[in-house]
């Protein structure tokens, strides 16, 4: 289904999870308000990555990758990369009776457990596919040198905006 055009078709549930999807929606406030209007005592849990950093890498390289991303996928509607301000405004402005909006730090250092290695692999493949060929090849080399466990130091730091929204008080 398309949650953006058919929010009324989102199944009724005690708890609806919106994890990394609001950044794909043109009008996140309208989507949230359509769920809030149910007033059925249900809750919505939101998680949206607002920043990501991994390394270490030579000075300037991460910035170059970031600039590439901003010039490619970050500007292709409806997706918006690390769309914190629009997401935060929608969460804080939604008509839910109760809103708890916070931030969480997700940080891991090598050696990564398997699930973090898999997450980092997937994230780096996605980034490599969406940046310049030169930076993409460099990143793929960095990934293979740091996965799955690797002897080299590596870190992953992500800040997520998280929220619990309740349709009744
Ligand atoms: C970054 S993924 C997040 C997937 C999952 N929630 C998670 O946290 O791993 C975003 C997902 O939202 C889906 N999506 C984007 N826009 C959508 C829309 N308008 N209606 C339904 N799904 C959508 C995409 O197909 C993709 O599967």
> Is 87 part of a structural domain of the chain?
yes
> Is 114 part of a structural domain of the chain?
yes
pLDDT of residue 74: 75
Picking from 14-23, 77-86, 95-104, 147-156, which range would have the lowest pLDDT averaged per residue? 147-156
pLDDT digits (tens, 9 = 90+) for 70-114: 888 877 778 888 989 999 999 999 999 999 999 999 999 998 888
> Is 89 part of a structural domain of the chain?
yes
> Is 86 part of a structural domain of the chain?
yes
149 has pLDDT over 80? no
- Other CB atoms within 10 A of residue 80 CB: 20
> Is 122 part of a structural domain of the chain?
yes
Pocket-testing residue among 6, 21, 119, ligand 1, by greatest number of atoms within 8 A of Cβ: 21
> Is 1 part of a structural domain of the chain?
no
Q: Per the structure, how many domains does the chain have?
A: 1
Beta strands in the chain (DSSP E): 15-19, 43-55, 98-109, 155-166
Please report the atom of ligand 1 found closest to the CA of residue 18.
6
> Is 106 part of a structural domain of the chain?
yes
DSSP string, 110-154: SSPPHHHHHHHHHHHHHHHHTS-HHHHHHHHHHHHHH-SS-SS--
Burial of 106 (C-beta count, 10 Å sphere; 0-12/13-18/19+): middle
Domain assignment of residue 68, given as a range = 7-166
Closest by CA to 30, choosing from 65, 66, 53, 4, is 4
> Is 80 part of a structural domain of the chain?
yes
Measured in Å, residue 25 CA sits from the centre of ligand 1 at: 10
pLDDT of residue 4: 92
């Amino acid at each position: 289904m398309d949650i953006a055009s058919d929010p009324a078709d989102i199944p009724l549930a005690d708890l609806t999870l919106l994890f990394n999807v609001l950044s794909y929606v043109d009008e996140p406030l309208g989507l949230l308000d359509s769920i809030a209007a149910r007033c059925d005592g249900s809750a919505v849990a939101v998680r949206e990555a607002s920043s990501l950093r991994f390394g270490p890498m030579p000075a300037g390289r991460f910035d170059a990758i970031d600039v590439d991303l901003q010039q490619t996928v970050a500007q292709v509607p409806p997706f918006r990369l690390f769309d914190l301000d629009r997401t935060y405004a929608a969460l804080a402005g939604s008509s839910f009776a109760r809103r708890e909006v916070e931030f969480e730090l997700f940080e891991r250092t090598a050696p990564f457990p398997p699930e973090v290695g898999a997450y980092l692999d997937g994230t780096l493949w996605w980034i490599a596919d969406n940046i310049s060929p030169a930076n993409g090849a460099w990143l793929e080399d960095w990934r293979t040198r740091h996965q799955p466990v690797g002897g080299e130091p590596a870190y992953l730091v992500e800040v997520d905006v998280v929220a619990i929204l309740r349709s009744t008080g």
